[in-house]
Structure 1
Amino acid sequence: MPFGPASILGVERFSQECEAPLELIPGDDNEKKEAIVRAVYKQVLGNAYVMESERQVVAESQFKLGEVSVREFVRSIAKSDLYRTRFFDSCTRYRYIELAFRHLLGRAPVDFEDMRTHAERLDASGYEADIDSFLDCDEYQNSFGEWTVPFQRGWKTESCTTLQEFTWSFQLLRGNSSSSLKGNLAGNKSRLGGAAYQNRALPVVPPSSQDSQGWSFRPAANLTDPVTRIGVIAGEEGKIYRVECTAYRANDIRRVSRYRKANRVYFIPFNKLSEQYQRIHREGGKIASITPVS
């Protein structure tokens, strides 16, 4: 059992694991291919357990026979009913997006604009197109290429772009026993929450107790406090408002987004409300509710 900063912060898995990425090389035997299959399931499904009956046997066979690359095998798993049921249909929109960043690019989102781009793509083109956008982007190719299993970045392999991204990464992945399906009391809600809309870093807190073995993490006390601008006397101009919108339609195709009710949520400071109202109406949305964050 590790001791020191890695275990205290809940990232001991990355302190222990081999630094070399798992890559398929021409001539590798079936044992190596099977190890890659297990590694893809572990990464793409967020360390969640996969029953034998849930394995994607057709995609596995195509990969082992050399018909598809590691990247295309990852694509098959990410587009499967197994992944969609666990992380798309049963999760909020931004929970799915933050998980897709973790599972497919091995990092946390850099900022809210990083997430918003995918939210808009979901409305415009749908789920499978959004998965493709992760796997076909230059970042994926430069980081993993065609034959390397995606892995968690930003711990030993490279630095995070910003302090904000670094602190967000702790919200998405910590503890050997945690997974994308369990290990946090937030359930299937977004781990980044309002901090994503406000583009602010989150406190990095230790496991909830010394005996918890990483099963949950304490939320920072200030995450639920009313949010005001530092140095401003509490008042209307210092508050953050939650704006729920609906009626966004998919662009260029004759269908309505699956998000039929309040399908977008924004956290907006008071002095930006008017600007956001105009943007929402330009995009064809309707405001369902406006409430102060408290």
Structure 2
Amino acid sequence: MVFGPASRLGVSFFEETDPYEVWPGIPDQDKEAIIRAAYRQIYGNAYVMDSERAIVAESQFKLGMFSVREFVRQLGKSDYYLSHFFDCPRYRAFELCFRHFLGRAPNNYDEMKVCSAVLDSGGSYQDLIDYFVDSDEYQEVFGEDTVPYVRGYKTEACQNMIGFTHTFELVRGASSSDLKGSLAGKRPVLNDWVINGTATPVTTTTTFQTPALAARTRHGIDASSGGKTYRIEVTGYRANTVNRVSKFRRSNKVYLVPFDKLSEEYQRIHAQGGTIVSITAV
């Protein structure tokens, strides 16, 4: 079962879409649907140009030379995947591998350390892909003929509660990609939470999320004469014009402001249509 309203939690697309799988005598149009589903899952819903597609692997799958599992393996080992999802800190790459190949978040720090051990022992990123695709869990859940799908948001018997809550940090709907959909950018989303074995709050897709450090700005050369700085979290920015794209459009930002600039900054934010969600002393 799904925890809470699927539409508000950003998992309605995954809840309403049946798994894609191959069966004997499958027509070519259904093979195309399976290929699209595999790209969407393994490439994190990113837009893929024709020149970036794994054409050879697609052809071999259509000819029956590859099972779905082998096609998924080829996508994971492609230059596209390696350049887009491993060009980041390794723990960010690991959590994305769990999301792409097993459909869930890592359950604990031990799982992340096993991934590190694959690389630290001289293995390549291709070896890490094999580790996921050849795992017992992959075989038991997806087998040879089913495209991996996001499943960690569903409650199951004996499921790790920490991994369940962490899934919502990796999956925030099907309208954005894993390349651009996270405010954390290339930074690990779950690193501290997984290391400390701490569950995260399950929030709606419109709830403010902590942005990347690069989004923070600082006013003045120093905090203030008294050394006091305040952290202002802002969401809900929108253009103050008649023709707005959408009144539900959201953007998040954090400001570090000295005490003597608080009033001025407060007025500026509200004049620009922002909504202050919290002010805390740093």
Shared fold, TM over 0.5: yes
Percentage of identical aligned residues: 52
1:206 to partner: Cα distance:
2.5
Match of 1:104 among 92, 101, 105: 101
Aligned residue identity for 1:102: R
In the other structure, the counterpart of 2:7 is 7
In the other structure, the counterpart of 2:27 is 29
Whichever of the two has the greater Rg, that structure is 2
Change (3 A) 1:34 1:160: farther
1:77 to partner: Cα distance:
0.4
In the other structure, the counterpart of 2:161 is 163
In the other structure, the counterpart of 1:93 is 90
Alignment of 1:118 with 2:138, yes or no, is no
1:207 to partner: Cα distance:
2.8
| Distance of 1:44 and 1:207 partners within structure 2 | 22
1:52 to partner: Cα distance:
1.2
Alignment of 1:144 with 2:142, yes or no, is yes
Match of 1:46 among 25, 40, 44: 44
TM-score, normalised to structure 2, is 0.70
Task: Find the residue that maps to 2:151 and give its secondary structure.
Answer: coil
1:205 to partner: Cα distance:
2.5
In the other structure, the counterpart of 2:195 is 197
| Distance of 1:50 and 1:157 partners within structure 2 | 32
Q: How many residues align?
A: 208
| Distance of 2:67 and 2:10 partners within structure 1 | 33
In the other structure, the counterpart of 2:239 is none
| Distance of 2:31 and 2:72 partners within structure 1 | 13
In the other structure, the counterpart of 1:283 is none
In the other structure, the counterpart of 2:53 is 55
| Distance of 1:168 and 1:6 partners within structure 2 | 16
1:159 to partner: Cα distance:
5.4
Task: Find the residue that maps to 1:120 and give its secondary structure.
Answer: helix
| Distance of 1:7 and 1:29 partners within structure 2 | 32
Structure 1: gaps (5+ residues): 210-216, 221-293
| Distance of 2:105 and 2:158 partners within structure 1 | 9
| Distance of 1:33 and 1:110 partners within structure 2 | 33
Change (3 A) 1:160 1:74: farther
Task: Name which of structure 1's ranges 121-130 and 58-67 shifts more when overlaid on structure 2.
Answer: 121-130
| Distance of 1:200 and 1:219 partners within structure 2 | 17
| Distance of 1:33 and 1:8 partners within structure 2 | 32
In the other structure, the counterpart of 2:67 is 69
1:222-251 per-position Cα deviation (integer Å, ceiling 9, x unaligned): xxxxxxxxxxxxxxxxxxxxxxxxxxxxxx
Change (3 A) 1:186 1:73: same
| Distance of 1:43 and 1:53 partners within structure 2 | 19
1:224-283 per-position Cα deviation (integer Å, ceiling 9, x unaligned): xxxxxxxxxxxxxxxxxxxxxxxxxxxxxxxxxxxxxxxxxxxxxxxxxxxxxxxxxxxx
| Distance of 1:159 and 1:219 partners within structure 2 | 31
Alignment of 1:132 with 2:130, yes or no, is yes
CA contact (8 A) 2:152 2:163 kept: no
Structure 2: gaps (5+ residues): 212-281
RMSD of aligned residue pairs (Cα, Å): 1.9
1:202 to partner: Cα distance:
1.1
